[in-house]
Amino acid sequence: MGTEIERKFLVTSEAWRADAGQGTRLRQGYLHTGTPVVRIRQAGELAFLTIKGPGLLARAEYEYPIPPEDAEAMLASLCPPPIIDKTRHRLTQDGLTWEIDEFAGHLAGLVLAEIELVSADQAFTRPGWLGAEVTDDPRYQNAALSRADGLPA
């Protein structure tokens, strides 16, 4: 068990691509999108089952590796569509790692950046491509995005 402190932002330009790697494709769906969230994720050749407690900024999280074939079957049969399909890029700046999620499928065009911090008020340098913060906006939680018909209004 760990507690995540994450801040999430919109991305306003393509400038991040120059410093980011090729990324990992993630496909994920939800067995439950209420409290707690129960998520199935395929990450490249690996797969995980993740349970997240209540809260947006800091929340309890339990994550377990599972057989990729189980994840494939549960995404196909037990997770309500649409399945989230995105590529996660990592980019390090000033010793902090940004995760930049480039969405495909029903959310094509959406790009979100996340940073993991040790405390809610930890200072960090804002990259030039960083847009508005959406940490507290429930429309940009992954569980909500999995229920969406398209980009948040």
Q: Any idea which residues carry the catalytic annotation?
A: 30
| HSE toward the beta carbon, residue 60, CA cutoff 13 A | 8
With CB under 8 A as the contact rule, which of the stretches 21-29, 46-54, 101-109, 132-140 interacts with its own copies?
46-54
Instruction: Assign 3-class secondary structure to 94-125.
Output: CCEEEEEEEECHHHCCCEEEEEECCCCCCCCC
| Binding flag, residue 5, its own copies (CB under 8 A) | no
Least CB distance from residue 51 to its own copies, whole Å? 6
Tokens of 91: 């980019």
Whether 29 and 40 have beta carbons less than 8 Å apart is answered as yes
| Binding flag, residue 43, its own copies (CB under 8 A) | no
With CB under 8 A as the contact rule, which of the stretches 21-29, 61-69, 127-135, 136-144 interacts with its own copies?
61-69
Task: Kindly state the number of chain residues that form the binding site for its own copies, as judged by CB under 8 A.
Answer: 20
| Binding flag, residue 34, its own copies (CB under 8 A) | yes
Output the CA–CA distances (angstroms, integers) from residue 30 to 49, 98, 102, 124, in the order listed: 10, 24, 19, 32
Interface with its own copies (CB under 8 A): 1, 31-32, 34-36, 38, 49, 51, 53, 60, 62, 64, 66, 69-70, 73-74, 77-78
